[in-house]
Amino acid sequence: MQNQSFVNEFILLGLSQNPQIEKISFVIFLLVYLATPVGNMIVVVTIFYSPVLLGSPMYFFLAFLSFVDACVSSVVTPKMIIDLVYEKKTISFECCMTQIFAVHCLSSVEVIILAAMAYDRYVAICKPLHYSFIMNRRLCGILVCVAWAGGFLHSIIQIAFTLQLPFCGPNIIDHFICDLFPLLKLIACTDTHIFVILVVTNSGSFCIIIFSLLLVFYGVILFSLRAHSSDRRCKALSTCGSHISVVVLFFVPCIIIYARPTSAFFSEKNVFLFATILTPLLYPMIYTFRNKEMKNAIRKLWKRLIMAYGIS
């Protein structure tokens, strides 16, 4: 099938057509966007400048997770913020496809990194004597490479089928972002039933399966904690609690969006807003506020920076 696209650009309706709401939203999301990359990159810099944290697989994966979250926010939020101050919100066909590819690639990378973090906690708690042998630097590097390769492969599959669709009009997307289901509503000259099944299978089922496996993983971890001492149990519960919170925040919106083609009970815009813009802001807070090691490392980094600039 050849690409029969007749649409050169798409018109995004954005979050709202109310000028007052758009002005308020502009201020709110500008502040959110300024805070999100800063918060995530503080986590990345802190871990990479702390030899103790960087030597731990858990923090090694957390650094990559924070970097991916900063990238996801930068792919979606700037365009949405700019559109809030313009009456006509347009995006070229090429930029729309690029945005779809980037969001799905980075989200898939995040899925695999979260799975790697769950496996790391499983080995640390259930097989502590073999932890240093199993979770070595080589395995951590391989898992990160698998995450990027898996994300790239997933997005290539999505975008390859998307480019085969005949975008023959209309070109108005009732959304603030380019994504698969909003685009499918524009295709009136062919049957998209098969493509809908493909999206649900490729993205929706993938989210449900990985989410279920992660819940089983953490269930086994929590069950095994009964045999540990109270101090170690509290520390493990605190760490696993942060991981489970992030898993739920990531996968529930993913399942809502992609496991159901229709949005009968949820506003797709609101779920997308939460998943792509707000959750990347929450992740650094979840991983640092109750984590003494991270907070101590951040304090040491700040002291080092203050001393360095003070001396100079």
Lookup: tokens for 74: 């930068």
CA distances from 150 to 105, 109, 256 (A): 8, 7, 22
Q: How far apart are CA 143 and CA 279, in angstroms?
A: 23
What pLDDT, in 10s, does the model give residues 140-188?
A: 999 999 999 999 998 998 888 888 887 776 788 888 888 888 887 777 5
pLDDT of residue 4 exceeding 50? no
Q: What is the CA radius of gyration of the chain?
A: 21
| Domain ranges within the chain, ordered by starting residue | 9-311
Closest CA to 177 of 252, 88, 276: 276
Strands 172-173 and 9-12: parallel
Q: How far apart are CA 255 and CA 278, in angstroms?
A: 17
Lowest mean pLDDT segment, chosen from 45-49, 163-167, 262-266: 262-266
Mean pLDDT of 234-254: 83
What pLDDT, in 10s, does the model give residues 115-131?
A: 999 999 899 888 888 89
Secondary structure (DSSP) of 80-110 = HHHHTT-SS-EEEHHHHHHHHHHHHHHHHHH
Q: How far apart are CA 231 and CA 167, in angstroms?
A: 59
Q: How far apart are CA 76 and CA 78, in angstroms?
A: 6
3-state secondary structure of 261: coil
Mean pLDDT of 42-53: 88
* φ/ψ of residue 107, rounded to 5: -65, -40
pLDDT of residue 202 exceeding 60? yes
CATH 1.20.1070.10 at 9-311, yes or no: yes
Contact 39, 284 (CB under 8 A): yes
Lookup: tokens for 139: 């395995």
Q: How far apart are CA 77 and CA 273, in angstroms?
A: 9
Query: Residue 138's pLDDT is what?
Result: 93
Lowest mean pLDDT segment, chosen from 92-101, 106-115, 169-178: 169-178
Query: Residue 297's pLDDT is what?
Result: 84
Query: Residue 147's pLDDT is what?
Result: 94
Which pLDDT band holds residue 221 (cuts at 50, 70, 90)?
confident
